[in-house]
Every structure is written in structure tokens, then in C-alpha cells.
């Protein structure tokens, strides 16, 4: 929940000025829903995709205040973030509701970016692997391997989001490898390899390359550092 109409369009124009397209890196931006139209217009014809930050699991109907997958598709979205820790912690999102939203996203030709991650308390009590596995199993229940192949999973330790405290590359890679293993059990080796597992949580230009060079870290979900064109472009360059 950042920026305003003019500043978000200006940010996207500034990003497009400094981003260097690379065949090996796919880039998307996920603005607040009210700015999807303007940001989408600014991105038209560029190599950058549009995504949303959440959606409802039902297509149309009496759900005042909600936004459906069909509406996001209508606005040109390709991606939708689901189960972000702020949705889970502040707005009652559960693995069950994320699972319903994933099905609705695919039904509307949207690629879900499904977020999982442990709290600091859970990490300190040694529960990280169990918490993340339980979120993955619960959120992805009902998903078949054909659809899962295009899925994006974002591992975002809650204690690293917006705190400036990044997981070390070793800490992140350890969890990413566990996620890849679990995805292999759920969907088979080939599908698990094609699922992109992003790391999120205080990704910045100065830590992006080290994180992204880990074998199971396929991309980044960037919050604060995406609010400035130069720092976002520097992260994309690190990925390339
Ligand atoms: P951050 O946010 O990069 O500012 O930590 C990440 C997120 O909100 O997913």
C-alpha cells in the first residue's frame, strides 16, 4: 500500500528507462489494485508483466470490496501474489483460502505467486521446515502437476520482510532446497524443476546477486527496493 496514481505511473516509466531487458530474466510489477489500470497502460508494449497483490476466490457476485481473477485478467494481469504474509497475519488468509484462490487464478489465466515463510519465533524454535512444508502442502492441495509447472513459489521469512534483516544466502538456500524436495514429492522431478522459487525479504541491490546465485533461488520478490527505479533495476541486473 504505497504511492499514488501519478507517482506509481512515474515509477514505472522511470523503471522502463533504466531496466535492461535480458532473455534470462522475467520481470513483473504488482501495484495496488487501484493502480493496475494506469500501471498496465504504462507497461504496454514493454517486456515487463503486470501482476496483482491479492484476489478473491470467487468469479463474480456479492462480495463487496473484493476483486476477482476475471477482473484482474481483464486489466491485463499475468500474475497474482497469493498468501503474502501480511495477508496471512493481518487479514486472516489461510492455506485453505490460498488453495481456493490458486484454483481461481488458474481458471482466469493468472499465474499465482504463492508466498510461504516462518515467523522469527518459529525459526528460533526450529520449526521452519515444518511450517513451510505445511504451508506448501495446504496451499497447493488440489493442484495438478500440469498446472503446477507454471507456478511461482515465494519463500519469504516473515522476520525478513520490510525489516532490513535479510536471510543469509545459506539460510535461504536451505529452505529453498527443502521446498524443491517437497515439490518433487508432490509433482515429480520435472515439474518441481520448472517451478520458480523466489526469495523475498529485504532483497536489495547489494545482496541480490549472492542470494540469486544459490542453486535453488530462481528469483526475487522485491518490496521496498522496488519503490525506486534504480534499486529495482540493479536487482534485475544482478539476476541477469
Ligand atoms: P521487502 O518486502 O523487500 O520490503 O522486505 C518483501 C515483501 O513484502 O514481499
Query: Which amino acid residue places its CA nearest to atom 3 of ligand 1?
Result: 223
Tell me, yes or no, if 84 is annotated catalytic.
yes
Residue 133 CB contacts under 8 Å (≥ 6 apart), including other chains: 178, 182
Domain ranges of the chain: 5-239
| Ligand 1 centroid – CA 96 distance (Å) | 23
Instruction: Name the residue of 153, 155, 224 whose CB sits within 8 Å of the most ligand 1 atoms, as the mutation to test its pocket.
Output: 224
> What is the per-residue pLDDT for 52?
98
CATH architecture group of domain 5-239: Alpha-Beta Barrel (3.20)
DSSP 117: -
Our CA dihedral for 60, 63, 66, 67, rounded to 10 degrees, sits at: 0
Mean pLDDT over the full length of the chain: 97
Structure confidence by residue, pLDDT tens digits, 142-194: 899 999 999 999 999 999 998 988 899 999 999 999 999 999 999 999 999 99
Structure confidence by residue, pLDDT tens digits, 3-27: 999 999 999 999 999 999 999 999 9
- The mean pLDDT of 89-102, rounded to a whole number, is 98
Amino acid at each position: 500500500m504505497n504511492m499514488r496514481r501519478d507517482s506509481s505511473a512515474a515509477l514505472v516509466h522511470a523503471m522502463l528507462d533504466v531496466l535492461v531487458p535480458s532473455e534470462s530474466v522475467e520481470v513483473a510489477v504488482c501495484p495496488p489494485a487501484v493502480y493496475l489500470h494506469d500501471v498496465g497502460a504504462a507497461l504496454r508494449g514493454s517486456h515487463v508483466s503486470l501482476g496483482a497483490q491479492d484476489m478473491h476466490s470467487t468469479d463474480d457476485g456479492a462480495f463487496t470490496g473484493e476483486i476477482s481473477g476475471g477482473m484482474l485478467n481483464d486489466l491485463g494481469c499475468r500474475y497474482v501474489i497469493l498468501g503474502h504474509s501480511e495477508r496471512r497475519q493481518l487479514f486472516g488468509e489461510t492455506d485453505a483460502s490460498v488453495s481456493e484462490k490458486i484454483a481461481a487464478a488458474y481458471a482466469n489465466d493468472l499465474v499465482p505467486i504463492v508466498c510461504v515463510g516462518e515467523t522469527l519465533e518459529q525459526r528460533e524454535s526450529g520449526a521452519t521446515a515444518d511450517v513451510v512444508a505445511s504451508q506448501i502442502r495446504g496451499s497447493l492441495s488440489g493442484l495438478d502437476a500440469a498446472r503446477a509447472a507454471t507456478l511461482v513459489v515465494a519463500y519469504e521469512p516473515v522476520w525478513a520482510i520490510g525489516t532490513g534483516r535479510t536471510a543469509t544466502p545459506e539460510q535461504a538456500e536451505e529452505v529453498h532446497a527443502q521446498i524443491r524436495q517437497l515439490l518433487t514429492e508432490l509433482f515429480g522431478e520435472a515439474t518441481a524443476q520448472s517451478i520458480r522459487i523466489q526469495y523475498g525479504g529485504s532483497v536489495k541491490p547489494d545482496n541480490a546477486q549472492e542470494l540469486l546465485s544459490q542453486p535453488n533461488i530462481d528469483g526475487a520478490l522485491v518490496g521496498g527496493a522496488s519503490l525506486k527505479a534504480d534499486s529495482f533495476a540493479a536487482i534485475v541486473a544482478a539476476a541477469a
